Structure 1
């Protein structure tokens, strides 16, 4: 009975669940499922947004900028190089590099023809570039701005250009070894362009271009112009031209391999001209040989030969071991040292010390060197700067070659007395002669007077620098008078300049034959180094003629070249003969005092 009652109660409860209640229960369950689904979706979306906006933000921004922004260098005008009188020697001109994005070109044939006409390039070359699989190719670099404007007017799809700056040397070959040159990226590679590249190039800056999906520009953020500083030199353009002209004539006349010449103010170290021949055009430096581009006046060395007798003479005079009137036995033109016979170019029986230098006697110079001795002679060789850099502001300078006395052989003292067993640069030899000219002080040579920023502010200014006193003023004055005799009575007569007193020394040195290791009988270096006028010198000049085939003596080819450079340079500087018009360059420096280091 009890079980039947319970069964009837359950049946009655089931009958109480109506359809409406069931529907409400179903809706409730669906709502719960939907809510859970939305909540789950919200969690997923929130997590994704967190990942995109927070976690992966730097990565995505970088990718977006890579597609829409283009960072390119701004057009930097390289600083101008001027001579001492403000004449332009190196300038920068505006150019453009035309480029193509092959994937964006819609009409390759029409585009090739149009660009060929605008850029004066073979249509086949352009057509091949337009078919390239690369994303970007330069059709023409350093094109004139007129060509870039012509391309712009064509409105060709996939074609554009970058504005750039190109170095130009308006004087072409003039002062080429001083200027040097720059590469396609406008970076200095040689000469002053390399030495002062950090100032001339200026600080590199960038601009940002925003572009659309087809890489068309939308917005450009401009940067200040990255203009380099200007360089003002000690070089005189006219004296440079005179030096180059006369040097070329001498090399051609003598059939020589090459030549070098330098003109310097002996008091303050300013280089007024520096030339080498053969030379090159820095606008077309890629077409020149390495030999033609080499600044041999600074980076090469040679045995100075008899010109070095001025150094042994300076030491002997300073040590009071000789006087101009002291006489030396010429030994009939030959002397034996260390088992080797050294001969003069002619027979001399008896010569004063002054005549030894004037007539360039080997025998006499060796006897002077023997009086001076190894230790003292080496001190004077070093004192005059040989074996050390002059520290001129040009790249690649050589210190030359000199051995210490402990490494000398029994023949070395004699050889050094006549300018053998030592190698010097033309610049070193000129600086040493300048010390004799200015009263006995070694000065540092330099090319750049000042570096001036675009706003006119002087960034750096070179001033004369005295390195050390090597001989006294009395010794320098005495030696200058003796070297004047080289021109008036001795081997340098062809160096005489009408109306001016000239002092100097000739040199004719044999070159070493690389195949035999001995001195060559055919290959020589002819030279003359001197200054003018003897009183209050204005110009110190050296001329080197390498391997002349005719006129093989320093007195026959280098000395007359010195004369022409000196005469024309003095004429340019508006000087009159001694005793007439005051010499302009000497004013302000003739009373200069020098201090010992």
Structure 2
């Protein structure tokens, strides 16, 4: 109990004079306070929860008094519950304390970010918007053996605009200037100049430095340029089918550009750039992270002057004979290729105007039946195996029957007694069949493989066709006779040129190659690795073959037109039927005319291989291909300053009675 004002204790449950415990005066609405007891002297019990609710009295308009607060009135109405309000001053103080605490936390964090850890956070923010891009480097040049360029990179500019930096009063003028100067569509230029949100729009690549300088002097704000490099192929040098070209990204796409891409490309530099909110690179935003490393120059074994002349001679003869195409290869006995011309060809400056067929390097991509040029392998195998000699005499009729097929020589003749040298000089199919049968199909196959048939040449040029040479176990009855004189198998021009280079190199085959070495940015030359060498026949056999092949170019041989004044020349003609791809037979397929030889015959320095595919006005090799050989060989000997040996050719016995 708590004391009252008069000093007496008061039961809190006892009603005050006003009718409510300890609450002041009684209600003014006439309602009675709840009775303290039920008349038994005990406090009133709370009604059971299970008891039904007390019915509310029904009010009538006559008896109802005024109602306040919406609750029931009358003697039996329960008292209204009142809530005491919290002190507002205390609430305000608590709120102020909390706000001050939060502000102190934010203030502390702000001091940490802007003061204590300012550098770290700034670096992290910069790192998030900064990245690294490649800086283009100088692609190595491709040169001939004397350093003359077949392909080179020249410095250029990539012109771009930063639309956010362009002055509004200059936009139209800048659009007009860029469109007219670079020959660009005005609407496309306008779209880049007005691009949003963007800070980097490329306008033109491969702009000459002088032209950029002239443009920069106009003083347009928001106009910039980056150093770039442009690949250039001088048209007058030729060799497009060998050199190839690069794609839009500056990577090697075809030819030696693709084969030597790793050597030529070098290593790109690294440039830090900022990334805008739209993800655009802003080249001006960063610094140089790594200097670019220029690519190495590739020095080839080609001679630019000989290459140019070979292309001109081949194109002229192909047009004259209405040939479908052709190739000319000039090489040294040690496998170095001096020239590799192809027809038809194309200009690397205008790739889009050429066809895929024109871009093929026919010297390795075009397979054909070699015809009589293959007879040298048949003869070489028989000589090396000791089965015959250059003076061995054979009875050679005009035709010969093998199984269901009759084989004939190109021109009718009575049955003759020819030496092995005579068979080769007069290009007798029937005589060569007899020699091939002496050798047998397995040994014939073995020598064809040794000389490089049925396998890649080693040049690693794109699109190379290794030809067809089937396993001897699959040869049928007439295949050995056919293969012995150059039918029933196929080769590419480089493979056949390599055969004659092997003979000229005293019987040692050196893998054909185009790369002499590389030159670094300091000008230091590094030779190419040694190339594979293999002895195919003995020097004695090779020497005998040289003399026998020299007889081919005499007046009694099939290629008197291949003579080069002042030089001893050895070689062999080849006229072969072409298979019609539609019928799969020789009928209607045309011919392949070829000649391959070397000079000087007694000290070979150069080999020249000429192939004309399907010449229509003249197809016999002695008249069609041999003149091209003479033209190219004469020029090459003089251009490379190869002197005649000054020796006289021996008298070679071709017939038994000579």
Does the TM-score normalized on the shorter chain lie above 0.5?
Answer: yes
Range 514-523 or range 472-481, more displaced: 514-523
Answering whether residue 537 of structure 2 is matched by residue 476 of structure 1, we say: no
Cα distance in 1 between the residues matched to 2:102 and 2:192: 55
Q: CA deviation at 1:123?
A: 3.4
Q: Which residue of 2 aligns with 1:119?
A: 182
> Is this contact kept in 2: 1:441–1:470, CA < 8 A?
yes
> Is this contact kept in 2: 1:269–1:464, CA < 8 A?
no
Answering whether residue 204 of structure 2 is matched by residue 140 of structure 1, we say: yes
Identify unmatched segments of 5+ residues in structure 1: 11-24, 581-597
> Is this contact kept in 2: 1:393–1:448, CA < 8 A?
no
> Is this contact kept in 1: 2:482–2:488, CA < 8 A?
yes
Answering whether residue 227 of structure 2 is matched by residue 163 of structure 1, we say: yes
Q: CA deviation at 1:80?
A: 1.7
Aligned with 2:379 (options 306, 313, 317): 313
CA deviations 1:76-103 (Å, max 9, x no partner) are 1111222111222221111223334567
Answering whether residue 568 of structure 2 is matched by residue 487 of structure 1, we say: no
Answering whether residue 577 of structure 2 is matched by residue 510 of structure 1, we say: yes
> Is this contact kept in 2: 1:551–1:557, CA < 8 A?
yes
Answering whether residue 140 of structure 2 is matched by residue 79 of structure 1, we say: yes
Q: CA deviation at 1:311?
A: 0.7
After TM superposition, the score normalised by the length of structure 1 is 0.85
Structure 1 segment 411-450 matched on structure 2, within 5 A: 411-450=478-517
Cα distance in 2 between the residues matched to 1:134 and 1:475: 78
Aligned with 1:558 (options 621, 625, 647): 625
> Is this contact kept in 1: 2:237–2:308, CA < 8 A?
no
> Is this contact kept in 2: 1:314–1:479, CA < 8 A?
yes
Does the C-alpha gap of structure 1 residues 439 and 49 become closer, same or farther in structure 2, counting only changes over 3 Å? farther
Cα distance in 1 between the residues matched to 2:237 and 2:603: 33
> Is this contact kept in 1: 2:600–2:644, CA < 8 A?
no
Q: Which residue of 1 aligns with 2:367?
A: 301
> Is this contact kept in 2: 1:393–1:446, CA < 8 A?
no
Cα distance in 1 between the residues matched to 2:121 and 2:262: 36
Aligned with 1:534 (options 601, 612, 616): 601
CA deviations 1:204-231 (Å, max 9, x no partner) are 2221245899969355336423311111
Q: CA deviation at 1:532?
A: 0.7
Secondary structure at the counterpart of residue 357 of structure 1:
helix
Q: Which residue of 1 aligns with 2:355?
A: 289
Cα distance in 2 between the residues matched to 1:51 and 1:7: 67
Q: Which residue of 2 aligns with 1:397?
A: 464
Cα distance in 2 between the residues matched to 1:501 and 1:389: 32
Q: Per residue, is there more helix in 1 or in 2?
A: 1
> Is this contact kept in 1: 2:271–2:286, CA < 8 A?
no
CA deviations 1:280-333 (Å, max 9, x no partner) are 1112222222122111102221110111011111111111112222222222x2
Cα distance in 1 between the residues matched to 2:192 and 2:109: 48
Cα distance in 2 between the residues matched to 1:218 and 1:346: 80
Range 182-191 or range 155-164, more displaced: 155-164
Q: CA deviation at 1:39?
A: 2.8
Cα distance in 2 between the residues matched to 1:259 and 1:83: 23
Answering whether residue 158 of structure 2 is matched by residue 93 of structure 1, we say: no
Secondary structure at the counterpart of residue 499 of structure 2:
helix
Secondary structure at the counterpart of residue 226 of structure 2:
strand
Q: Which residue of 1 aligns with 2:214?
A: 150
Secondary structure at the counterpart of residue 451 of structure 1:
strand
Secondary structure at the counterpart of residue 212 of structure 2:
helix
Secondary structure at the counterpart of residue 203 of structure 1:
coil
> Is this contact kept in 2: 1:173–1:281, CA < 8 A?
no
After TM superposition, the score normalised by the length of structure 2 is 0.78
Structure 1 segment 229-244 matched on structure 2, within 5 A: 229-244=296-311
Q: Which residue of 1 aligns with 2:312?
A: 245
Q: Which residue of 2 aligns with 1:336?
A: 401
Secondary structure at the counterpart of residue 203 of structure 2:
strand
Q: Which residue of 1 aligns with 2:99?
A: 37
> Is this contact kept in 1: 2:163–2:222, CA < 8 A?
yes
CA deviations 1:396-434 (Å, max 9, x no partner) are 333221100111111110110121111111001011111
Q: CA deviation at 1:113?
A: 1.1
Q: Which residue of 2 aligns with 1:22?
A: none
> Is this contact kept in 2: 1:71–1:206, CA < 8 A?
yes
Cα distance in 2 between the residues matched to 1:540 and 1:216: 54
Q: Which residue of 2 aligns with 1:194?
A: 258
CA deviations 1:331-390 (Å, max 9, x no partner) are 2x2122220112211123122211111111111111111111011101101111111112
CA deviations 1:104-125 (Å, max 9, x no partner) are 6535432221212332435355
Cα distance in 2 between the residues matched to 1:50 and 1:428: 77
Q: CA deviation at 1:48?
A: 9.6
Q: Which residue of 1 aligns with 2:477?
A: 410
> Is this contact kept in 2: 1:101–1:137, CA < 8 A?
yes
> Is this contact kept in 1: 2:553–2:561, CA < 8 A?
yes
Q: CA deviation at 1:441?
A: 0.9
Cα distance in 1 between the residues matched to 2:98 and 2:128: 41
Cα distance in 2 between the residues matched to 1:189 and 1:272: 23
> Is this contact kept in 2: 1:261–1:544, CA < 8 A?
yes
Greater relative contact order: 1 or 2 (C-alpha under 8 angstroms, separation 6 or more)?
A: 1
Q: How many residues align?
A: 559
CA deviations 1:475-525 (Å, max 9, x no partner) are 111111111111112111111111111111100111101121101345111
Cα distance in 1 between the residues matched to 2:481 and 2:275: 77
Cα distance in 2 between the residues matched to 1:256 and 1:430: 21
Q: Which residue of 2 aligns with 1:203?
A: 267
Does the C-alpha gap of structure 1 residues 50 and 526 become closer, same or farther in structure 2, counting only changes over 3 Å? farther
Q: Which residue of 1 aligns with 2:45?
A: none
Q: Which residue of 1 aligns with 2:21?
A: none
Q: Which residue of 2 aligns with 1:498?
A: 565
Secondary structure at the counterpart of residue 506 of structure 1:
strand
Aligned with 1:177 (options 238, 241, 257): 241
Q: Which residue of 2 aligns with 1:595?
A: none
Q: Which residue of 2 aligns with 1:109?
A: 172
Secondary structure at the counterpart of residue 77 of structure 1:
coil
Cα distance in 2 between the residues matched to 1:298 and 1:51: 69
Secondary structure at the counterpart of residue 557 of structure 2:
coil
